[in-house]
Structure 1
């Protein structure tokens, strides 16, 4: 018998947990990469927003100082008060812008000093504009005109512009750094997507290969199992055939022994009892006595011999029915049915068709009839029994059915053992045996055997073919 194939998955029990761990790590890597890219993008966007706020604040300071200078010149040239509106709103806007810059650079002392310088330069420029407007309002035209002709306003504005340029350059540089960080984050995320995609494809290919290997292993395992199953079935079939042949041989041996014993009873014991009966008859005729005791003894001896001869005949019929041996299966069944009706008082409906069988098949079918009728007599409590012998195709069929009590299960009983023996005997001859019974609805016993021709018999031997 071939050795059992390895069960798929048992050669490496660590592979499945490892594959699950790798899949979990890959999923965690995808989530971690996506989260990292998202957080970096959020940080970069927040930093860019802060940079834009700082640049807007610096530009606001410069723009409001220019608005103040423009308002100053327009007022000085025209004297119209409406030109002072931008000047009046500029101080508040500049203060708010300086406050935003302080908040933005709160963690950078160097840039905070530049913000202080920007605030100081803006205050000086504002003071210069305020002083010029105050002189104009006071009517000191020569004074404000002389102040305008000096370069103090331009110098103050240049000082503000230099500090603002430093801050703007710093913000531009940091904005460039942030943009580069964003590009790096995008590049890392881009590469991460490709790497994770490649790893996913590799994992999928690995899964497909393992799945294909598993399917191949399962197919190979199934093939080995099928081979083992076929081998076992072949061995079981061979052993069953051997047991059937052995059972058939034992049955034939048993039938031969029964037939030999029947012949011995007929030839030896029968001759002995017949001789004793004849001697007793001669003795009775030769004795002329009127002694009652002697007469009674002779009568009792004659009766005993008759009983012995009758017992010998019954034993011969049980061992080998003479009707089956001399007249064939149908005649033997009819004789057994007649005896059954006389013994039990039940009615038997007979239905026969001509069949041709060999001796073992006839003996087996007759044994089925005997066993079924014996069970009906002992257990069924039936009133009507139907007995059928027929030819169906290439099979001879015997069926015995009664309207008795039926049964559900008789495992372990004598009748069940007898039915089991009949089944083995029929199946050993290549036939089929079935018993169908429902409690309260009777029992049907059926045997089916292939038709087999009887071996040619010598001239003058009794025929084995039954006729209807």
Structure 2
């Protein structure tokens, strides 16, 4: 995570975390409180239901017993017996639900006592009826004790039910209040989240503007550097071309000096030897051998001078043209190295500098072949096309791996620079054991782009 992202999140992230924590807190608190209130509310409704069931069972028991006493029909005992069982269960349910509420315990205790007395009175009546004790039964039935207990049960159950209803209402109000506060909390947290989102968008826009500004500055700086690189490249190219031209000029100057000065000296020496031959006694074998050796040495020196001069500045190029000069070059190379050279040379008309570039390209290629290729056959071709000249030097030598060319291989780099300085393109294809092919495409008079596009 970079510094820009941290700056962008410096305010919005804490607000988002705060909103999330508040949302979780409010949700958990509301859940727990509502769950507790709903549990209490459910318990209150259970108590109310149990009280209603209890009162119904008491009425069913009393009605069933009176019906049995009046009719002596056993079917009236079934509601009485079932109600007697349900009364105990209802009392137990009420007791469990209010055991943690002391305010209802007194009322429930009094209610239980009244129910106990009423059920005891009904059990006694049933027993006396079954025993046939009519007097005692009339006494029990016509006393006010059973009616008083029933009224007490109604009063106490109503009081307990009203207390439960009030408690249930209070729980309902608290649930409603909890829901209201939950809505307020959710709305507040939502506003905080919207505020955090707004701050995030605002900071994001600011950072985006800064980023665009930085990108614009970087683009401007990159453009400036590219322009500087182009200028430096153009300057270096111009300097390299100038040095190449200076080198050729120096070679031409040296060639002229060797041709004029050294040639004159060697020619004068050869003429002096010729004069001496006519004036000395040649019958002496030793003298004849010395004069002959001197003559041969002078001839070798003249030939060496001529070869050096031609290597420095080929006079045939200016006097005989490119095709003839290349033919002479290939023939001399074939005789000197002893390798078959096949030349396919078409006549071309090019500027002097371009012709010199092609001549040097072929000369350097043949020199490299003679040093490294160990070739038995070489093919040199020059083809003239409407917009360009194609030059190719091919051998069947050992070849080399193009990826292994060292950075300090100035021979190949020099050839490439010479060709590219004329607007051409140099291609080198080689593989170990498959020989080497050097191809150059040099424009004649059309634009460089058009010429290169034609050969693509």
Flag the 1:263–1:150 CA change in 2: closer, same or farther, 3 A: same
Match of 2:158 in 1: 165
> Conserved in 1, the CA contact under 8 Å of 2:322 and 2:359?
yes
- CA drift at 1:297: 4.1
Equivalents in 1 of 2:307, 2:349: separation in Å?
A: 27
Q: Compute the displacement of 1:388 (Å).
A: 1.6
Could you tell me whether the CA contact under 8 Å between 1:423 and 1:433 is conserved in 2?
yes
Match of 2:235 in 1: 242
- State how far apart, in whole Å, the 2-side matches of 1:85 and 1:425 are: 127
Q: Which has the higher contact order (CA 8 A, sep 6+)?
A: 1
Residues 78/412 of structure 1: CA separation in 2 closer, same or farther (3 Å cut): closer
Work out whether 1:417 is the aligned partner of 2:410. yes
Aligned to 2:451: none
The 1:12/1:52 distance shift into structure 2, 3 A limit, reads: closer
More helix by share: 2
Comparing 399-408 with 280-289, which one deviates more in the overlay?
280-289
**TM norm structure 1:** 0.83
Of 48, 71, 78, the match for 2:64: 71
Match of 2:342 among 330, 342, 349: 349
Does the C-alpha gap of structure 1 residues 292 and 447 become closer, same or farther in structure 2, counting only changes over 3 Å? same
The alignment status of 1:331 with 2:361, answered yes or no, reads no
Distance in structure 2 (CA, Å) of the matches to 1:374 and 1:315? 14
Tell me how many residue pairs correspond in the alignment: 445
Cα separation, partners in 2 of 1:183 and 1:413, compared to 1, 3 Å: closer
Q: Give the superposition deviation at 1:327.
A: 1.7
Q: Which moves more between the two structures, 366-375 or 354-363?
A: 354-363
Who is 1:435 aligned against? Answer: 428
Q: Equivalent of 2:170, from 173, 177, 180?
A: 177
TM-score (norm 2): 0.85
Q: CA deviation at 1:376?
A: 1.3
In structure 2, C-alpha distance between the alignment counterparts of 1:159 and 1:82, rounded to whole Å = 28
Partner of 1:458: none
Partner of 1:5: none
- The answer for the alignment partner of 1:303 in structure 2 is 296
User: 1:247: how far off?
Assistant: 1.0
Distance 1:289 1:386, change over 3 A: closer
Q: Does 1:269 align with 2:262?
A: yes
Q: Which residue of 2 aligns with 1:257?
A: 250
Q: Indicate the residue corresponding to 1:111 in structure 2.
A: 104
Cα RMSD (Å): 3.2
List aligned pairs for 1:143-292, cutoff 5 A. Answer: 151-205=144-198, 219-287=212-280, 290-292=283-285
Match 2:333 to one of 340, 350, 353: 340
Q: Name whichever of 173-182 and 65-74 sits farther off.
A: 65-74
Mapped partners of 2:369, 2:123: distance in 1: 139
Distance across 1 between alignment mates of 2:415 and 2:360? 7
Q: 1:446 to 1:222 in 2, by over 3 A?
A: farther
Post-superposition shift, 1:438?
A: 0.7
Question: Structure 1 residues 248, 12: CA separation in 2 closer, same or farther (over 3 Å shift)?
Answer: same
- SS of residue paired to 1:266: helix
Alignment partner of 2:349: what SS? coil
User: Is the partner of 2:442 in helix, strand or coil?
Assistant: strand
Per-residue Cα deviation, 1:106-163 (whole angstroms, up to 9, x for no partner): 1223311211100112223334444555666666767755765554443322222221
Indicate conservation of the 8 Å contact 2:346/2:383, yes or no: yes
Deviation at 1:445, TM superposition (A): 1.1
Q: Which is further off, 282-291 or 385-394?
A: 282-291
Partner of 1:48: 41
- Give the Cα separation in 1 of the matches to 2:128 and 2:265: 178
Deviations 1:352-399 (A, max 9, x none): 334332222211211110011111122212222221212345333321
Indicate the larger mover: 239-248 or 194-203: 194-203
Residue in structure 1 matched with residue 93 of structure 2 by the alignment: 100
Task: Return closer, same or farther for 1:165/1:81 CA change in 2, 3 Å cut-off.
Answer: same
CA apart distance, 1:267: 1.9
Aligned-partner Cα distance in 2 for 1:251–1:385: 28
Matched, 1:366 2:366: no
> What SS is found at the alignment partner of 2:99?
coil
Question: Which secondary structure state, in structure 2, belongs to the residue aligned with residue 107 of structure 1?
Answer: coil
- Name 1:391's counterpart in structure 2: 384
Mapped contact 1:76–1:136 kept (Cα < 8 A): yes
Q: Distance in 2 between the 1:428 and 1:286 partners?
A: 59
**Higher mean Cα deviation, 57-66 or 29-38?**
29-38
Q: Secondary structure at the match of 1:444?
A: strand
Deviation at 1:313, TM superposition (A): 1.1
